[in-house]
């Protein structure tokens, strides 16, 4: 694993913890022999998110983006001028 990649996902994981999220990560091998990464985050208010990706950093980036939600990435086509 690339050391820079490891550092980046750990930063995201640390930020999730600081924001009150409990998180987990596991790797598994799918039926075609590929390694997949599954990350999840949850907190006491009932919110829970689970993401699957081919790389650990991608899994954490997608998890972080899912938690932040689409309201932080507004669709400019919906704006009225």
Map out the domains of the chain with their CATH numbers: 3-70 (3.30.160)
Structure confidence at residue 5 as a pLDDT band (50, 70, 90)? low
Q: Residue range 68-74: average pLDDT?
A: 59
Please tell me what DSSP assigns to residue 21.
-
The pLDDT confidence band at residue 47, using thresholds 50, 70 and 90, is: confident
Distances (CA, A) of 1 to 21, 25, 48, 56: 25, 15, 28, 10
Q: Could you tell me which of 23, 22, 18, 57 has the C-alpha nearest to residue 37?
A: 57
């Amino acid at each position: 694993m690339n050391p820079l990649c490891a550092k980046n996902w750990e930063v995201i994981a640390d930020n999730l913890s600081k924001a009150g999220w409990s998180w987990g990560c596991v790797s598994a091998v799918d039926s075609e022999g590929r390694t997949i990464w599954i990350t999840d985050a949850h907190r006491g208010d009932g919110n829970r998110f689970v993401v699957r990706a081919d790389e650990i950093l991608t899994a954490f980036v997608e998890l972080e983006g899912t938690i932040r939600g689409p309201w932080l990435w507004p669709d400019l086509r919906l704006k009225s001028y």
